[in-house]
Chain A
Amino acid sequence: MEYMIRTKDIIKSFPMGNGETFYALKGLNVDIPKGKLSVLKGRSGSGKTTLLNVLSGLDEATKGTVWFDGQDISEFGNKELERMRRYEIGFVFQSVALIPIMSAYENVDFSLRLSDYPENRDSRIREVLQYVGMTERMNHMVHQMSGGEQQRVAIARAVAHKPKVIFADEPTGALDTSAGISVMKLFRTLVEREHTTIVMTTHDTGLMGLADYVFELEDGEIIGTKRNERTESF
């Protein structure tokens, strides 16, 4: 199997006020398959967001190695990390995913500008917004959209520049069940059609069935990996 991201013995620790050290990740090893939807599952405080941050280069591991598409990003400097996040990664965050001073269209446009998108930006923006069903509301400002709509735009923004990996931190956390399922279905379509690798965190067990792989975390360690055999496509 081909892997997009691999890790070896990742430790992430934080100093605490009383002089002790808190270990968020305790020598963790995980391999994220390429072109699949992987879910990091766990309770609050289990370390899934920390892991996601380390995998995406948003945060540095205290110890250990992370290979991103075969490159050791632990050795990367700021510039290389920025470059990686800019061109190869798309992000979907939990609640305030969008840039509030921009409309839906502008949010996607901004992402394309960041990645120096070589083709016609306008048609790509319209394409991805149509893809997430937001064409009609593309000129709306963030505060004029519902949570689910915002998350759709965030997904459109994350995929617009055709990144290798999309990281999504609790993308359904602030949504109701049907909106959450709709987001997950979008992810699935992306994986099926564009073979994008998606890594997301969630604690919603109801959504696990839509993932290819589920990694369960507890106290900074992977305590279980599950592979869902999938036949249907969206």
Chain B
Amino acid sequence: MLRFIRHKIRNKKWLNMCLLIGTLLTAAVFSCMQCFKAGSLDRMIYTAFQAAGEESGVFPAILSREGTVALDTEESVGSVNSEIDAYENKWLEYLEPEKLLSQRILHVTGCAVSTSLGAKNKYLDIGMIPDLEDHIDIVKGTSLSEADCPENVVPCYIDERLYDRYGLVTGEILSFNYCLNDKGEPLEAQVAGIIRAKDEPDNFWHVTLSEIDTTIYLGESDFDHVINHYSFEKVFYEDYMLLDYTGITGKNAEDTMYYLEEFQKNDKSFSCNFMNILQEFRQNKKSVITILLVLLLPVLVLLLLFIYMVSGQILTMEQGEIAMLKSRGVNRKQVIKTYLIQSLILSAFGVLLGLPVGYFLCKLAASTDAFFVFAYKDVGIYRFTWEMIPFAVLAGLISVLFMTIPVFKMSKLSIVEQKQALVYKREKVFWEKYFLDIILLILSLYLLYNYNNQKEAMALAFIEGKSFDPLVFLDASLFTLTLGLFFLRLSGYLVRLIFRLGKKRWKPAMYASFLQIQRTAKKQGFISVFLVMTIAMGIFYSNLASTINQNHEERITYNVGADVRMMQDWNLSVYRPAQEVWTWAYKEPDVEKLNMALSDEVCSMTKVIEDRETTVKVRGKKIENCYLMGINTKEFGETAYLKDGLNDSHWYNALNSISQTKNGVIISRNMAEEFEIEIGDQISFSRYNPIPGFDDEEIANVIGKVSAIVDAFPGYERYSYVYNEDGEMTEQENYLVVANYTTLVDTFGMTPYSIWMRLKDGVSAEEVYDRLDQNGIGYSEFDSISGSIEEMKNSSIIQITNGMLTVSFLISILVCTVGFLIYWILSIRQRELLFGIYRAMGMSMGEVNRMLVNEHIYSSFLALLSGAVTGVLTTVLFGKLLALVYLPQKHNVPLTVFVDKKDVLVLFGIILAVFLFCLMILRKLIASLKIAQALKMGED
């Protein structure tokens, strides 16, 4: 049997090659999905840890425990360490990531201290930090081991801040008057060295020396001696274990979370600082997997249809063989078995080859920057995983099923029925016959209508991090498919109409080709559906990707407002002149230095005061936490960006209006509506004391005259989202007041401002960043449009979307090309006799070509056009809804659907090239046709 199957495969090697390609791509998509999912989740969790670290300035994966050890028996640092080690080992036993290091702080409660230099009542605790000396610099004095101390006096370190605060000096002896030994003598420690943490990035300092505050640090043996011989009841310890968070992956995140919850439940002293990261990951994971599935589903359907189509084609051609086998006594089961084995062999090869192709597709998808835009990226996190294998095998088995479905149908037919199946019949395709296209199209539109009605609730759910309803995406696919089919129905009617209109006048080529199109619509229907789906999906995907990407970019540009926006380090000095109230002053950073340092990179720069805690009052009504901006209008106009069309008039008009009035203000539309004020009305706004604890005291207020009302302004986000008292996510309005910079400084004094910059052409934010570092210019905040856009593009969900849309399109183009070529080559081969008859009857080669071109125009080209219109309509109707999944927040820059004409043209170009290529091959095939031979073949 195997020899027979081998012969069968060889006999139809091109068609079987197509089946292999279909199976291979299905296995590739399945395994790519798995690889991409694993990589994306790993990457998502890794970037979440990194972002958390950067945002908080604290190492993002720390397990910690606080505890005490009673000193009723003899204890030592060693025994306390053993207890902590036991806890740490237990954690590590369950968790996969490895330990990087631990910071442990041991201390006993001290008391008020008097010193040998006469200081009194300085409260100090006595502490010990294992491995302290590896992580500190001694600013003054000596190390503990080198200290020269009197008898019964232990050497100690103190932190330089404590040294400043308490005015202690090296060599000074500290007497702990209430910490006595057996003889009633107080504990005495001599300051051997003043220390500070080493000036280098060091994760050891999770808790910094300044945070520990009033503590002296002893060496291990002295601490042992002290805790055992003085009147202390217990040792307090804090343990901070830093985990290598690169070991927390998409795969083990769930387990990690489970164990951490268990630790927390069973040990009240245990805590960890990354539960929220894991919880957020758990929520996002659902969205990631759903997006991945819904984006790949249409292409999978396309692939399986392709396999079904090719398999059906092979069977049609082998009907004779099946009939022959059956006439020789082979039963139906044996026929099915033969095809089943053939499918299994092809699938086995498909799976084997599909795995590396899937891996390659995954890497390709990971390196996309936008739809069909590839960039050089580190894609090392997307690794080959063993889970890819069962998925590829599953794909293989599904392919086998789709390959053998037609066999079940075909093997039932008798020889006579098979013969009849071969002839041309005026039959409608099942979807056309039962109006499935129209019914399902209406269903998809109804679903769309429903989703559009629930848009706001859906957006809030997305913002809360709830996973979205995958039906939204599937509805778009259903709409694409059914509208495509509907257009095919219409193009069928159109062909009939055109044919009828010119029926009496059609030249023979047109006459024959129109009849060909109408009478073989069922056969062509399949490839037409392919064409429609591919082009519609391509256009929709490209538009969806650019809608998502461009809206993101526009919103980022709006939010950041300028190429670079940074805040230098500002120092707040607080002082209290004798008997007077506390007062304060900000020390302005050296802006000149900044100007000089960036003279080559920046073309304009401006100071912007930003205060989000301003209170605005109008006629007794007030709004708190308004966003106040103080700007130099000309510079600001030259530096900031604002998209046209967001305001009624150009935003420069608003800038001009306040530049002419010292106390002129621009306010946001929502503020104007809230206070029911118009241009020319007055508002009062006030700012508050920056001293912690005094921040409810008003410093001063300004009476501003409303000069302009705007909907949008660079950096001003009208909406934000917060949880209300019931724990529900709600939308919150933000209000804006823009005043002249000088007015604010005159009224409120020197106020911290951020620097907004517009960069020269070709200069990147990265260069500015480097230049600041080179010049030692510190900053507390640094934000750039390009940096934020890059961050957005690297976010898992955007990466998945761009990657999967690209891969889907690539596969659908490939399948469509192969499908199109195969269909037409076979169609020509099957029609060789027909062409022979045409040529014998005197049709010229030119007429045959015209006939083919006409067939292509009215079948393939109409399908392409239908696909294009379908793609654009899907974008227009579903673009906003689907983009909502990615950008659920309401924003000053409303969601806009982008129909990228260039992309559509490029797409059309690609398809047209494929189309022409196919046509060339077909033309060649027909030109090589020998009439007499063709007729002879017909006879045979």
Contacts and interface: CB of A to CB of B under 8 A. Distances in A.
Contact of B508 (A56, A93, A110): A110
Contact of A101 (B420, B424, B506, B843): B424
Interface in B911-940: 931-932, 935-936, 938-939
Contacts of A169: 935
A53 interface: yes
Interface string B677-697: 000000000000000000000
A95 B932 CA distance: 14
* Candidate in B839, B841, B844 with the most chain A CB atoms within 10 angstroms: B841
Contact of A113 (B506, B520, B834, B935): B506
A223 interface: no
Interface stretch (A29-37, A79-87, A185-193): A79-87
Given A102-B515, A106-B515, A110-B512, A84 B939 contact: no
A222 interface: no
Contacts of A8: none
Contacts of B931: 58-59
B424 A143 contact: yes
A85 B508 CA distance: 14
Contacts of B844: 78-79, 82
Interface centre among B426, B516, B935, B938 (most CB of A within 10 A): B935
A169 B840 CA distance: 13
B842 A100 contact: no
A169 B670 CA distance: 90
A106 B838 CA distance: 14
A59 B936 CA distance: 12
Contacts of B515: 101-102, 106
Nearest to B516: A101
Contacts of A56: 840
Contact of A86 (B424, B425, B843): B843
A113 to B, nearest CB: 4
A52 to B, nearest CB: 10
Interface string B485-526: 000000000000000000000111001100110011000000
Given A85-B842, A100-B423, A58 B511 contact: no
Interface string B835-856: 0011111111100000000000
Given A58-B935, A101-B516, A141-B426, A96 B842 contact: no
Nearest to A102: B515
A100 B419 CA distance: 14
A28 B931 CA distance: 22
Given A59-B932, A101-B424, A143-B420, A84 B834 contact: no
Given A114-B508, A114-B842, 11 more contacts: A58-B932, A95-B939, A96-B837, A96-B938, A99-B838, A100-B424, A100-B834, A102-B519, A110-B508, A142-B423, A143-B424
A109 B506 CA distance: 11
A143 B423 contact: yes
B355 interface: no
A114 B938 contact: no
CB-CB nearest 9 A-B residue pairs: A86-B842, A143-B423, A85-B842, A101-B519, A59-B932, A113-B508, A114-B508, A53-B932, A96-B938
B842 A84 contact: yes
Contacts of B424: 100-101, 141-143
Contacts of B938: 93, 95-96
B730 to A, nearest CB: 66
A114 B519 contact: no
Interface in B810-864: 833-834, 837-845
Contacts, number: 84
Nearest to B838: A99
Interface of B: 420, 423-426, 506-508, 511-512, 515-516, 519-520, 833-834, 837-845, 931-932, 935-936, 938-939
A182 interface: no
Given A85-B841, A99-B834, A113-B507, A94 B939 contact: yes
A68 to B, nearest CB: 13
Contacts of B935: 58, 93, 169
Nearest to B933: A59
Contacts of A93: 837, 840, 935, 938-939
Contacts of A113: 506-508, 511
A82 B506 contact: no
A91 interface: yes
A99 B512 contact: yes
A196 interface: no
Contacts of A78: 844-845
A94 B834 CA distance: 14
Tell me what chain B mostly uses at the interface: helix, strand, loop, or mixed. helix
Most buried by B among A111, A114, A141, A142: A114
Nearest to B936: A49
Contacts of B508: 110, 113-114
A114 to B, nearest CB: 5
A158 B28 CA distance: 55
20 contacts: A58-B935, A82-B839, A83-B842, A86-B843, A89-B842, A93-B935, A96-B938, A96-B939, A99-B512, A102-B512, A109-B511, A110-B508, A110-B511, A114-B508, A141-B425, A141-B426, A143-B420, A143-B423, A143-B424, A143-B425
A111 B166 CA distance: 115
A147 to B, nearest CB: 13
B842 A82 contact: yes
A110 B840 CA distance: 13
Contacts of A143: 420, 423-425
Nearest to A94: B939
Contacts of A142: 423-424
Nearest to A93: B935
Nearest to A91: B840
Contact of A96 (B426, B516, B519, B833): B833
Interface in A104-152: 106, 109-111, 113-115, 141-143
Contacts of A79: 844
A11 to B, nearest CB: 16
A91 B519 contact: no
A142 B520 CA distance: 14
Contacts of B843: 82, 86, 114
A142 to B, nearest CB: 7
A209 B632 CA distance: 114
**Residue among A79, A110, A143 with most chain B CB within 10 A:** A110
Contacts of B840: 56, 58, 85, 91, 93
Contacts of B936: 49
A48 B8 CA distance: 36
Contacts of B426: 141
A57 B939 CA distance: 19
B802 to A, nearest CB: 46
A178 B517 CA distance: 37
A91 B833 CA distance: 14
B606 to A, nearest CB: 75
Interface in A174-198: none
A26 to B, nearest CB: 18
A148 B939 CA distance: 16
Contacts of A95: 938-939
B859 to A, nearest CB: 13
B591 to A, nearest CB: 83
Contacts of B420: 143
B208 to A, nearest CB: 86
Contacts of B837: 91, 93, 96, 99
Contacts of A102: 512, 515, 519
Contact of B842 (A59, A87, A101, A109): A87
Contacts of B932: 53, 58-59
Contacts of B511: 109-110, 113
A56 B512 CA distance: 23
Nearest to B419: A143
A142 B841 CA distance: 18
Interface in A50-83: 53, 56, 58-59, 78-79, 82-83
